[in-house]
């Protein structure tokens, strides 16, 4: 293993430890955790010396690698970050980093020529686009969907590692419905993205059902002992979400036959970009209107997808689902039944609308 790779494992492990503010880290603790990481990732049994970790901390504090980590020692014993939000993962890319990333992308582009790697095309384009943003005079050649205001994305690396290494997590979480944050232990199983928003699929220690936690509602994550992990024993998540649009689903939910009528103007869009992989065109009349079938769970995301088409899509069945969509459209119509009295809505109206967004089903 190269020296650079070993050093990177040490830096990332130290960084991961210092971000865990729920406990105090002595030099001995850091040595132990780094030794475990080197053994786990590279099979190194010899561990790491005290002098090496001290040297790593000095490198991280310096600008040698661009980190300038605000590492402080409390009571001459405990190491921590002076800025609780700091992480070396948030550091800007150096020219050296950029060059290495470009080399990696070139390799990926080469592999992309093989049929086995065709699914990597989107990832490669995203990598190239993000690297182009780092070059001040480079004009972008592609613009991808993104939202710079999204919260919680910094949890992805830690949660991904916990899933891979089967680590229970103590998560502080506040849903939109809760007045205050709640701390509980979860067994993490899957990270899932839907429309640029990320979710953790996990099972609570005090519970038997899978839960969906939005990363932007997580305020703190702490690792627990690996020995307490409870593995997922259900069907594969590919099968679990095969009949689902989005992420809202319980283990009891099953896909239902949904029949939709799409007007002629939107039929080409529905044909070229199906609402779901189960979509089948049942009929198309002389005017170009089409009737399609979906086999999906009746969830919040499906409702939002259909409502997004407004008058261009009609739900034919199931009848209860049709009535629900009709009721929501009627409520929306009533909001526009009378002219607005003021261009600026009152604070009370804004609050009311915010609440209505989450009355049906929270993500």
CB 176 within 8 A of CB 213: no
Reply yes or no on whether the pLDDT at 117 is more than 90. Answer: no
pLDDT of residue 114: 53
Q: What angle do CA 297, 302, 305 make, to 5 degrees?
A: 160
Residue identified by tokens 């603790």 is 29
CA Rg value for the chain: 25
Residue identified by tokens 């190194």 is 44
Reply yes or no on whether the pLDDT at 15 is more than 60. Answer: yes
The stretch 109-136 carries a mean pLDDT of 60
CA distances to 166, 225, 260 from 229, rounded to whole Å, are 6, 8, 44
Residues 6+ apart with CB under 8 A from 102: 131
Burial of 297 (0-12, 13-18, 19+ CB in 10 A): buried
pLDDT of residue 2: 45
Reply yes or no on whether the pLDDT at 322 is more than 90. Answer: yes
Tell me how far apart the alpha carbons of residues 195 and 193 are, in angstroms, rounded to a whole number. 7
Reply yes or no on whether the pLDDT at 356 is more than 50. Answer: no
Residue of 260, 266, 257 whose CA lies nearest to 281? 260
Round to the nearest angstrom and report the end-to-end CA distance of the chain. Answer: 43
pLDDT of residue 346: 53
DSSP structural state of residue 359: S
Domains 3-90 and 153-234 share a fold: no
Tell me how far apart the alpha carbons of residues 105 and 128 are, in angstroms, rounded to a whole number. 7
- In this predicted model, which residue has the larger pLDDT, 192 or 133? 192
pTM above the 0.85 mark? no
The stretch 324-338 carries a mean pLDDT of 93
Q: Is the dihedral of CA 188, 191, 197, 203 positive or negative?
A: negative
Tell me how far apart the alpha carbons of residues 83 and 125 are, in angstroms, rounded to a whole number. 34
- In this predicted model, which residue has the larger pLDDT, 94 or 163? 163
Task: Kindly report, residue by residue over 214-226, the tens digit of the pLDDT.
Answer: 999 999 999 898 8
Reply yes or no on whether the pLDDT at 48 is more than 60. Answer: yes
Tell me how far apart the alpha carbons of residues 108 and 117 are, in angstroms, rounded to a whole number. 9
Give the confidence band of 47 by pLDDT, cuts at 50, 70, 90.
Answer: confident
- In this predicted model, which residue has the larger pLDDT, 240 or 103? 240
The stretch 252-276 carries a mean pLDDT of 95
Residue of 108, 106, 116, 218 whose CA lies nearest to 158? 218
Tell me how far apart the alpha carbons of residues 227 and 224 are, in angstroms, rounded to a whole number. 9
pLDDT of residue 92: 66
Task: Output the six-digit token pair for 102.
Answer: 């470009």
Residue ranges covered by each domain of the chain: 3-90, 95-133, 153-234, 239-363
pLDDT of residue 153: 83
Question: Which ranges of the chain does DSSP label H, i.e. alpha helix?
Answer: 3-18, 27-42, 50-61, 95-111, 121-133, 156-165, 237-240, 267-272, 300-307, 319-335, 347-356
Give the confidence band of 352 by pLDDT, cuts at 50, 70, 90.
Answer: very low
Average pLDDT score over the chain: 84
pLDDT of residue 361: 44
The stretch 256-266 carries a mean pLDDT of 97
Q: What percent of the chain has pLDDT over 90?
A: 54
pLDDT of residue 10: 93
Tell me how far apart the alpha carbons of residues 22 and 28 are, in angstroms, rounded to a whole number. 17
Percentages (nearest 5) of helix, strand, coil residues in the chain: 40, 20, 40
Give the confidence band of 174 by pLDDT, cuts at 50, 70, 90.
Answer: very high
What is the number of other CB atoms lying within 10 angstroms of the CB of residue 308?
9
Give the confidence band of 138 by pLDDT, cuts at 50, 70, 90.
Answer: low
DSSP structural state of residue 140: P
The stretch 103-112 carries a mean pLDDT of 63
Task: Output the six-digit token pair for 51.
Answer: 């002098």
Fold of 3-90: Arc Repressor Mutant, subunit A (1.10.10)
Task: Kindly report, residue by residue over 282-310, the tens digit of the pLDDT.
Answer: 999 999 999 999 999 999 999 999 999 99
Give the confidence band of 354 by pLDDT, cuts at 50, 70, 90.
Answer: very low
Backbone angles phi, psi at 317, to 5 degrees: -160, 160
In CATH terms, is domain 153-234 a member of 2.40.128.640? no
Burial of 291 (0-12, 13-18, 19+ CB in 10 A): middle
């Amino acid at each position: 293993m190269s020296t650079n790779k070993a050093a990177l494992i040490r830096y990332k492990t130290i960084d991961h430890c210092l971000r865990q503010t729920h406990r105090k880290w002595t030099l001995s603790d850091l040595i132990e955790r780094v030794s475990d990481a080197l053994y786990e990732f590279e099979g190194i049994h010899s561990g790491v010396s005290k002098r090496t970790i001290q040297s790593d901390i000095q490198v991280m504090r310096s600008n040698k690698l661009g980190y300038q980590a605000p590492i402080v020692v409390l009571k001459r014993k405990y190491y921590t970050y002076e800025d609780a939000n700091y992480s070396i993962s948030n550091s800007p890319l150096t020219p050296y980093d950029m060059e290495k990333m470009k080399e990696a992308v070139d390799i990926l582009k080469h592999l992309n020529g093989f049929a086995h790697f065709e699914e990597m095309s989107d990832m490669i384009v995203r990598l190239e686009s993000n690297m182009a943003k780092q070059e001040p005079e480079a004009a972008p050649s592609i613009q991808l969907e993104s939202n710079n205001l999204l919260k919680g994305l910094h949890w992805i690396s830690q949660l991904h590692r916990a899933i891979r290494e089967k680590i229970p997590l103590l998560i502080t979480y506040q849903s939109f419905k809760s007045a205050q944050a709640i701390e509980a232990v979860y067994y993490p199983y899957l990270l899932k993205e839907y429309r640029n928003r990320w979710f953790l699929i996990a099972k609570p220690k005090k519970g038997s059902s899978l839960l969906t936690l939005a990363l932007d509602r997580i305020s703190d994550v702490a690792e627990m002992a690996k020995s307490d992990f409870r593995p997922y024993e259900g069907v594969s998540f590919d099968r679990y979400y095969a009949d689902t649009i989005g992420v809202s689903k319980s283990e009891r939910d099953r896909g239902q036959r949904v029949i939709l009528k799409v007007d002629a103007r939107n039929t080409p869009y529905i044909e070229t970009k199906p609402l779901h992989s189960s979509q089948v065109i049942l009929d198309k009349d002389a005017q170009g209107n089409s009737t399609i079938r979906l086999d999906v769970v009746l969830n919040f995301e499906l409702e939002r997808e259909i409502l997004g088409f407004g008058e261009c899509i009609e739900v034919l069945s199931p009848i209860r689902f049709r009535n629900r969509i009709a009721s929501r459209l009627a409520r929306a119509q009533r909001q526009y039944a009378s002219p607005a009295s003021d261009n600026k809505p009152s604070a009370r109206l804004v609050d009311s609308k915010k609440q209505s967004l989450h009355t049906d089903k929270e993500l």
